[in-house]
Amino acid sequence: MSSSILSAIQKMRCLLTKEEKVKWLGIIAFALCSSLFEVATASIIVVFVQVLNQPELGEKYLAMIGLADDLSAQRSVFYLAISVGVLYLIKNIIAAVEAFYQNFSVQKMNYQFKGRLLERYAELDYAFYLTRNSSLGSAVVGGDAELMFSAGMMSVAMIMSESMVFLFLVIMVVLMNPSLFFVIFLVGLICGWGLVKGLMPKFYKWGKHLQESSLLCGQNLAQFFHGFKDIVLLGKRQIFIDVYQYYSQKRSHAQALQTATNAMPRLVIETLFVGIFVLVIAILCLVHGTPLQMIGVLGGYLYVGFRLMPGLNRMINQLNTLKSSVPSIVRVYQEYNETAAKQNYLNIPEFQFNEIIELKDIFFRYANMEKDALQNISLCIKKGESIGIVGKTGSGKSTLVDIILGLLKPYKGEALVDGKFTVRSYQWHQKIGYVSQSIYLIDDTIAANIAFGEKEINEERLNFVINAVQLRKLIDSLPKGAETIVGERGIRLSGGERQRIAIARSLYHNPDVLVFDEATSALDNQTEEKLMETINSVSKNRTVIMIAHRITTLKDCDRIIVMEKGQIKEVTQYNELERSKMV
Ligand SMILES: Nc1ncnc2c1ncn2[C@@H]1O[C@H](COP(=O)(O)OP(=O)(O)OP(=O)(O)O)[C@@H](O)[C@H]1O
Ligand SMILES: [Mg+2]
């Protein structure tokens, strides 16, 4: 076995819990146990065929294991026949139980591991997601992790049991006829050399191609369906289809090579074995004389041969499958450990927000960028205050809010609550109601989008927020009311309706702090004004931070921060801002 297979097995082991490791050992032990029965049945069949040919051998064999030496030849054949039947029955019952145990155990580990992987992804630093395509996460959970269990882990168990059967059968054949050892050794050497030098590196390469092209297929498919409107209007349908087909063809090519090549070992082995049988018959013909005398010996060889052949083939196939799943195992391992290193949020049970949010001399730069997105930001926001943020596009407003939310980590300076608690904590997130500049709605009902993830929806709270965001009229006009499905990303709603659902969501959990990033940009003036009135009335003791391009949106804010090129240009008030605009 090549070292990368061994290190992949080691990686799989590291990804399992203690309990799962024991279960995996159980699977392997089960496989070995059933292979022992496989060997036992193979041996007894050989003996049985020999005894059928020479009944007096039966007495000899039974006497050898200390059983009734006064048995007649016929009776010993009878007992042997019964033993063959019973042993076969036991072997197949074990194999059936094993199939269920193996598959259910591996699939349980599969979904439990994916749950753990998702938990790690959920705790990841937000900045991590800004640096990579979301299809990668889907490919790791849906593709690589799946392959690691269904191909990688199953292959290890099967290789163990197949190699055990193979080894025993080889020993048996060699004991029966030592001269065959040389032939088997030669076949083993040819197969082993071909496997390690020829096949395994190829399967690793194809596995890598499959992995890469699957990711790009998924990425392009997601872009095709998400950007369908733009693709159609820009007349780029064919271009997107061609790009998808290019990667799809690469994936299919790798898949076809893998599957077709996996059929080759069987043909090679079959040819080698038939060659050996023919040779054995020819040699035995010379030694035993008439073919009839050879039936007993040959029957045994034939059985062992036909069990040995597919066994060897399966072993090679499983090794190839394992090798092709190595890239997936490596990626799952990397992702699982990398995610652990990027968990930056703290758990602070004693977290309190009673006085102030304080930004101290903050500098922030996005990954791989040459310029700071924020520079020298110092700001205090008192509890209960409402702050407006204005500034040209790209001036750093959303970045500033993301720092306050604790999603982004400044490379210099810090953001603290009440002078001691970092904003990069789970407890701070729980105090916030946030409406993003790019709203995300799930393909579910309006009510589920507002309560977002809550299993039991609080009807009273739901109705309150629906009224607060002026959605009552819309909901009353819908046949299914709040139970209407909004479509993927809210595709069946208008932009303003989507924004109001997002605002309702931010209010639903009655947060201490409301953060709106262009939350009302899609609303007409009248709806926005009414909505702002309700928000202000329900926000009496709340701290509000609001980004807006329309300055009138911020007319009730206590202070307005003007951003420019990543810095705070001035801190002013609505009236002042209006006045300076008039000048
Ligand atoms: N993930 C990112 N990676 C690199 N640069 C980014 C990233 N997000 C934003 N930027 C850059 O940081 C700067 C500030 O962006 P930000 O989104 O904070 O601006 P904004 O004031 O909110 O603009 P808008 O009014 O258009 O929403 C911009 O120059 C932008 O290009
Ligand atoms: Mg913005």
Q: How confident is the model at residue 475 (pLDDT cuts 50, 70, 90)?
A: very high
Specify the pLDDT at position 51.
79
CATH number of the domain within which 505 lies = 3.40.50.300
Residues 316-352 pLDDT 10s: 899 999 999 999 999 999 999 887 667 678 899 999 9
> What is the per-residue pLDDT for 402?
95
Distance 155 CA to ligand 1 centre (A): 48
Of 388 and 193, which is predicted with more confidence?
388
Interval 545-574: pLDDT, tens: 999 988 888 888 999 999 999 999 998 888
Q: Name the least confident of 62-66, 74-78, 446-450, 460-464.
A: 62-66
Element (H, E) at 148: none
**Whether residues 330 and 444 fall in one domain:** no
Q: Nearest Cα to 13, choosing from 332, 320, 317, 318?
A: 332
Q: Which amino acid type is present at position 84? A: V
CB-CB contact of 241 with 258 (8 Å)? no
Average pLDDT over residues 440-465: 91
Distance CA 327, CA 204 (A): 7
429 and 334 inside one domain? no
- Report the pLDDT value the prediction gives residue 537, as an integer from 0 to 100: 78
Q: Do 334 and 430 have their domain in common?
A: no
What percent of the chain is modeled with pLDDT above 90?
Answer: 45
Angle of the 495-508 helix axis to the 459-468 helix axis, nearest 10 = 130
521 domain-assigned: yes
- Close Cβ partners of 60 (under 8 Å, ≥ 6 residues apart): none
Q: Are 333 and 15 in contact (CB under 8 A)?
A: yes
5 CA from centroid of ligand 2 (Å): 48
* CA nearest ligand 1 atom 4, residue: 366
- Measured from the Cβ of residue 62, the count of other Cβ atoms closer than 10 Å reads 19
* Residue with CA at minimum distance from ligand 1 atom 18: 396
Q: Once rounded to an integer, what is the mean pLDDT over residues 45-70?
A: 71
pLDDT of residue 291: 59
Q: Are residues 140 and 34 in the same domain?
A: yes
Instruction: Please state at what angle helix 295-324 crosses helix 237-288, rounded to 10 degrees.
Output: 160
Per DSSP, the three-state class of 97 is helix
3-state secondary structure of 1: coil
Say whether both 202 and 106 belong to one domain.
yes
Q: How far apart are CA 72 and CA 178, in angstroms?
A: 31
Domain identity same for 440 and 333: no
Q: What is the pLDDT of residue 177?
A: 67
Q: At 578, which helix (H) or strand (E)?
A: helix 574-582
Is 291 part of a structural domain of the chain? yes
The Å distance, Cα 390 to ligand 2 centre, comes to: 10
Residue 275: both structure tokens together: 């060659």
Per-residue pLDDT tens over the stretch 256-285 = 999 999 888 888 888 877 787 787 778 777
Residue nearest to atom 27 of ligand 1 (CA): 393
Domain-located, residue 515: yes
- Atom 29 in ligand 1: residue holding the nearest Cα: 394
For residue 438, the CA-to-ligand 2 centroid distance in Å is 9
Pocket test for ligand 1, best of 131, 399, 515, 516 (most atoms within 8 A of CB): 399
CA-to-CA distance for 67 and 59, rounded, in angstroms?
A: 9
Distance 399 CA to ligand 2 centre (A): 7
* Ramachandran angles phi, psi of 387, nearest 5°: -120, 130
Ligand 1 atom 1, closest CA: 130
**pLDDT value of position 40:** 84
Ligand 2 centre to CA of 252 (Å) is: 42
Tell me the pLDDT band of 1, cut-offs 50, 70 and 90. Answer: very low
Residue 220 belongs to a domain with what CATH number?
1.20.1560.10
pLDDT at residue 125, rounded to an integer = 83
The least confident of 1-10, 294-303, 355-364, 449-458 is 294-303
The answer, yes or no, to whether residue 297 has pLDDT greater than 80, is no
Same domain, 323 and 465: no
Owning domain of residue 98: 3-341
Closest residue by CA, ligand 1 atom 30: 394
Strands 421-422 and 432-435: unpaired
**b (16+ CB within 10 A) / e for 422-437:** bbbbebbeebbbbbbe
The arithmetic mean of pLDDT across residues 411-430, rounded, is 93
| Ligand that comes closest to the CA of residue 371 | 1
For residues 400-424, average pLDDT: 94
CA-nearest residue for atom 9, ligand 1, is: 399
Residues with C-beta less than 6 Å from any ligand 1 atom: 130, 366, 369, 373, 391, 393-399, 437
**Atom of ligand 1 lying closest to residue 396 CA:** 18
Q: Which has the minimum average pLDDT: 384-388, 407-411, 517-521?
A: 517-521
Return the ligand number nearest the Cα of 407.
1
In this predicted structure, what is the pLDDT of residue 196? Answer: 82
Instruction: Tell me, yes or no, whether 475 and 575 share the same domain.
Output: yes
Distance CA 131, CA 349 (A): 31
Is 405 inside any structural domain? no
Lowest mean pLDDT among 179-183, 276-280, 400-404: 179-183
Least confident range of 153-157, 185-189, 380-384 = 185-189
> Residue 357 in 3-state DSSP?
strand
Ligand closest to Cα of 562 equals 1
Q: Which atom of ligand 1 is nearest to the CA of 437?
A: 27
Residue 2 pLDDT > 50: no
Longest CA pairwise span in the chain (Å): 123
Q: How far apart are CA 342 and CA 120, in angstroms?
A: 9
- Closest ligand 1 atom to residue 131 Cα is 1
Rounded CA-CA distance 547/531 in Å is 15
Nearest CA to ligand 1 atom 24: 393
Look at residue 139 and tell me if it is in a domain. Answer: yes
CA 423 – CA 156 distance, rounded (Å): 46
pTM score: 0.81
How many CA atoms lie less than 13 Å away from 151 in the CB half-sphere?
Answer: 21
Res. 42 pLDDT band, cuts 50 70 90:
confident
Indicate whether 436 and 321 sit together in one domain: no
What is the amino acid identity at position 286? L
pLDDT at position 66: 65
Q: Which of 34-43, 221-230, 301-310 has the lowest mean pLDDT?
A: 301-310
Residue 39 has a pLDDT of: 81
Judge whether residue 192 has pLDDT over 70: yes
Distance 3 CA to ligand 1 centre (A): 46
Residue 582: pLDDT above 60? Answer: no
Cα separation of 557 and 381, whole Å? 12
Q: What band does 292 get if pLDDT is binned at 50, 70 and 90?
A: low
Residue of the CA atom closest to atom 26 of ligand 1 = 393
Atom of ligand 1 nearest to the CA of 518: 27
Q: What is the average per-residue pLDDT within 147-164?
A: 88
- Ligand 1 atom 7: residue of nearest CA: 366
Pseudo-torsion of CA 196, 197, 203, 208, nearest 10°? Answer: 110
How does pLDDT run across 490-517, given as a tens digit for each residue?
Answer: 888 888 889 999 999 999 988 999 999 9
pLDDT score of 235: 87
In a domain, 470, yes or no: yes
Rounded percentage of the chain residues whose pLDDT exceeds 70: 91
Q: What number of residues does the chain have?
A: 583
User: Which of the listed residues 307, 341, 375 is the one where a domain comes to its end?
Assistant: 341
Residue 83 CA to residue 40 CA, distance in Å, equals 11
The verdict on 13 and 161 lying in the same domain is yes
Q: Comparing C-alpha atoms, which of 555, 538, 546 is closest to residue 521?
A: 546
Per the structure block, which two tokens stand in for 331? 């990626």
Q: Is the pLDDT of residue 472 over 70?
A: yes
Place of tokens 């509890």: 383
Nearest ligand to the CA atom of 367: 1
* Pair 513, 432: CB distance under 8 Å: yes
Q: For residues 491 and 506, is the Cβ–Cβ distance under 8 A?
A: no
Distance CA 525, CA 98 (A): 69
Distance CA 162, CA 5 (A): 17
Which residue's CA is the closest to the ligand 1 atom numbered 19?
394
Q: What is the DSSP string of 17-77?
A: -HHHHHHHHHHHHHHHHHHHHHHHHHHHHHHHHHHHHSTHHHHHHHHHTT--TT--HHHHH
Q: Are residues 329 and 219 in the same domain?
A: yes
Question: What's the domain count of the chain?
Answer: 2
Region 180-201: mean pLDDT is: 79
What's the gap in Å between 348 CA and the centre of ligand 2? 29
- Test site for ligand 1: of 128, 364, 372, 397, most ligand atoms within 8 A of the Cβ: 397
One-character DSSP codes across 432-443? EEEE-SS----S
Instruction: Classify residue 369: in a domain, yes or no.
Output: no
Which pLDDT band, with edges at 50, 70 and 90, does 293 fall under? low
Residue type, 467: N
Question: Mean pLDDT in the chain?
Answer: 86
> What does the buried/exposed string (b/e) look like for 553-570 if buried means 16 or more CB atoms within 10 Å of the residue's CB?
bbbebebbbbbeebebee
- Out of 308, 341, 374, a domain closes at 341
CA–CA dist 391, 286 (Å, integer)? 99
* Residue 373 resides in a domain: no
CA 437 to ligand 2 center in whole angstroms: 6
- The answer to whether residues 360 and 419 touch, using CB atoms and an 8 Å cutoff, is no
Domain boundary residue, one of 306, 341, 376:
341
- Matching residue, tokens 């997107």: 240
Q: Which of 364, 398, 403 to mutate to test the pocket of ligand 1 (most atoms within 8 A of CB)?
A: 398
